[in-house]
A and B are shown apart, each in its own frame.
Chain A
């Protein structure tokens, strides 16, 4: 008898507990989180680093302080399949152009210090080959110097050309490789695809090594305009 009563009491308690849980959420003061872009973009900074300034030790590129239109174009390109990285595409699939523009403007507007350059132990010969390709190009192969579009300081050119410094070597190699094998595109004319396809594997290694060994200049901002006419037409600039 006592056992039956015990069982009954347990059953009643269980039912009450279930009801309390199922009927409505317990009354709690409603939490508020900051109504900011920093809070909204935590899905970005988990990989791209605090405030979008990824350390250059890994693969993920820094996004803080890059030209706004460049960042916006990349977000649209990931969403629309011109760049291929499943994690990015998944996050951006159902975001509007207006919100992507706001996200791009937010990260572009961050003005934060850079860490020291990543590559410190590359062979001098490799670095020199990289320096020449970046600063002078190779006229024999009709290969324009990187600085002609990306700015003499290599910090990018507003509004849509990114800087090349402060990025991980692996990321630079990965991007040049993606341009070569068609996994990264811009709207036509796809100038970077044309440039990248002229590069050998050794060229790519040299360029990435030299760029990732360079410190940022005192003024790390993108140049407001290009010093001379671009050597190639680029769909990305007017995208």
Chain B
């Protein structure tokens, strides 16, 4: 009996050691390119400018610049289902930033997700995407960050729950879900397609929101961009492939290009997390890069999400209540027939964003309102008022049910529980 227990224990121990060795090997493979000492950098102005452009393409500031604080000094808390991860200081400060880093250290962080001191980094820093970035672009980014004024803001420790706060758990996660890049061009595709793929899948890290995540927080099928809830934000990033969602692969080039460049197109506007993406990132990209991204997105495989079943045509009491609320609060901007006003207010009739299976974005828009981003192409956007103050949850559910079923729309009714949010 004792022998059997001991044997089982030894087998388990052996398996544990082997698993640890495999995880360690897996995590450190292909890391020979790093250097330890910071080299004397002699970046050209063009390289720094290129780095600034790439930092926008990756929206580095979105996480590494705190509200109202000095650029890239970190300290932004990123809420995840596993706890809060705090972004780090990317300024060239010696004690707290990248002052002691070499371009090889930076490359290793971006490409392998490992910090200068050897710690594995949390994938809230989306190296799962950034791993595709080329060494040349990594060096340009590094030159740019090194050119910034140093800020001595100390880095803040993450506030993660056990066991997610352990390096061992992270090593296992990486062994399961992380494969280092870099991007390898597909020879049967055009240069434009490959450029688009490099940006969408790499710095653009589109799949971090537009792909569903599993219970361990890893992206499922990131190449398919089939849509998913943005973690802890109550926003749904629609499928870029499904024709009844964003359906970028089925749409003309022009509206997608306009949305990325200006935040609005003839029949749509960017709100919520996508407004941030346009405001801080895509509006600054060159037309050539945006066209490349759209070309790649248009070539995504077709939909696998089933179209929502059309609902019964009989109108409920909820619908009728919503119709009255619509006339009073919404029709002035969105039109009596939900036709919208081009460039100002999105149409609601025939709008795929209105009939998505997920009602998360509609609830956000009505409760909190919002402006599309003010961009060079659309500097003075029209805004949606927040209705949290003037409509209760039952009324919000009713008006959303109405717009999802009026004018030929075929969305499902919205239960009140979809609207209730913890304050």
Task: Show the binding face of A for B, using Cβ within 8 Å.
Answer: 18, 21-22, 25-26, 28, 30-33, 39-47, 79-82, 87, 90-96, 98-99, 102
Asked if B379 is an interface residue, CB under 8 A from chain A, the answer is: yes
Task: Classify the secondary structure of A's interface with B.
Answer: helix
Do A40 and B381 contact each other (CB < 8 Å), given the known contacts A21-B410, A82-B68, A87-B368?
Answer: yes
Q: Which residues of B contact A47 (CB under 8 A)?
A: 385-386, 389
Tell me which of A25, A33, A40 contacts B383 (CB under 8 A): A40
CB distance from A111 to the nearest CB of B (A): 23
| A87–B386 touching, CB < 8 Å | yes
Instruction: Tell me the complex Cα distance, A91–B276, Å.
Output: 12
CB within 8 Å of A: which of B50-92? Answer: 66-68
A-B contacts, 19 listed (Cβ < 8 Å): A21-B408, A22-B243, A25-B267, A25-B349, A26-B350, A31-B335, A31-B339, A42-B333, A46-B387, A46-B389, A46-B390, A80-B67, A82-B68, A87-B368, A90-B386, A91-B369, A98-B374, A99-B374, A102-B380
Additional A-B contacts beyond A28-B339, A46-B390, A87-B386 (9; CB < 8 A): A26-B408, A31-B339, A39-B344, A42-B333, A87-B388, A91-B371, A94-B263, A95-B373, A99-B379
Q: Which residues of B contact A102 (CB under 8 A)?
A: 380
Asked if B341 is an interface residue, CB under 8 A from chain A, the answer is: yes
Instruction: Name which residue of chain B comes closest to A14, CB basis.
Output: B310
Tell me which of B342, B380, B384, B410 contacts A43 (CB under 8 A): B384
Asked if B181 is an interface residue, CB under 8 A from chain A, the answer is: no
Q: Which residues of A contact B368 (CB under 8 A)?
A: 87, 90
| B275–A93 touching, CB < 8 Å | yes
| A41–B374 touching, CB < 8 Å | no
Instruction: Tell me the complex Cα distance, A41–B384, Å.
Output: 9
Asked if B340 is an interface residue, CB under 8 A from chain A, the answer is: yes
Q: Which residues of B contact A44 (CB under 8 A)?
A: 383
Do A90 and B370 contact each other (CB < 8 Å), given the known contacts A21-B350, A28-B337, A31-B341?
Answer: yes
The 8 closest A-B CB pairs, nearest first, are A80-B68, A43-B383, A46-B385, A94-B373, A81-B67, A94-B279, A99-B374, A81-B68
Task: Classify the secondary structure of B's interface with A.
Answer: loop
Instruction: Tell me the complex Cα distance, A159–B66, Å.
Output: 28
Q: Total contacts A to B, CB within 8 angstroms?
A: 106
Q: Which residues of A contact B347 (CB under 8 A)?
A: 25
| B374–A95 touching, CB < 8 Å | yes
In this complex, the member of A30, A31, A44, A96 whose beta carbon has the largest number of chain B beta carbons within 10 angstroms is: A31
Asked if B382 is an interface residue, CB under 8 A from chain A, the answer is: yes
Asked if B345 is an interface residue, CB under 8 A from chain A, the answer is: yes
Instruction: Name which residue of chain B comes closest to A35, CB basis.
Output: B344
| A42–B385 touching, CB < 8 Å | yes
Q: Which residues of B contact A22 (CB under 8 A)?
A: 243-244
CB distance from B21 to the nearest CB of A (A): 46
Q: Which residues of B contact A95 (CB under 8 A)?
A: 371, 373-374, 381
CB distance from B352 to the nearest CB of A (A): 9
CB distance from B196 to the nearest CB of A (A): 24
Instruction: Name which residue of chain A comes closest to B351, CB basis.
Output: A25
CB distance from B75 to the nearest CB of A (A): 12
Q: Which residues of B contact A80 (CB under 8 A)?
A: 67-68
Instruction: Tell me the complex Cα distance, A26–B244, Å.
Output: 17
CB distance from B266 to the nearest CB of A (A): 9
Tell me which of A42, A87, A91, A98 contacts B379 (CB under 8 A): A98
| B380–A40 touching, CB < 8 Å | yes
Instruction: Name which residue of chain A comes closest to B410, CB basis.
Output: A21
| B374–A30 touching, CB < 8 Å | no
Q: Give B338-372 as 1s and 0s: 1 = Cβ < 8 Å from A's Cβ atoms.
A: 01111011010110000000000000000011111
| A30–B379 touching, CB < 8 Å | no
Instruction: Name which residue of chain A comes closest to B368, CB basis.
Output: A90
Do A96 and B371 contact each other (CB < 8 Å), given the known contacts A43-B384, A82-B68?
Answer: no
Q: Which residues of B contact A79 (CB under 8 A)?
A: 67-68
Instruction: Name which residue of chain B comes closest to A60, CB basis.
Output: B389
Instruction: Name which residue of chain A comes closest to B373, CB basis.
Output: A94
| B369–A31 touching, CB < 8 Å | no
Instruction: Tell me the complex Cα distance, A40–B370, Å.
Output: 11
| B67–A40 touching, CB < 8 Å | no
Tell me which of B66, B243, B380 contacts A99 (CB under 8 A): B380
CB distance from A97 to the nearest CB of B (A): 9
Q: Which residues of A contact B408 (CB under 8 A)?
A: 21, 26
In this complex, the member of A44, A96, A102 whose beta carbon has the largest number of chain B beta carbons within 10 angstroms is: A96
| B386–A33 touching, CB < 8 Å | no
Instruction: Tell me the complex Cα distance, A87–B278, Å.
Output: 21
Instruction: Tell me the complex Cα distance, A45–B384, Å.
Output: 11
CB distance from A144 to the nearest CB of B (A): 27
In this complex, the member of A18, A43, A47, A94 whose beta carbon has the largest number of chain B beta carbons within 10 angstroms is: A94
| A43–B68 touching, CB < 8 Å | no
CB distance from A99 to the nearest CB of B (A): 4
CB distance from A138 to the nearest CB of B (A): 33
| A39–B339 touching, CB < 8 Å | no
CB distance from B62 to the nearest CB of A (A): 11
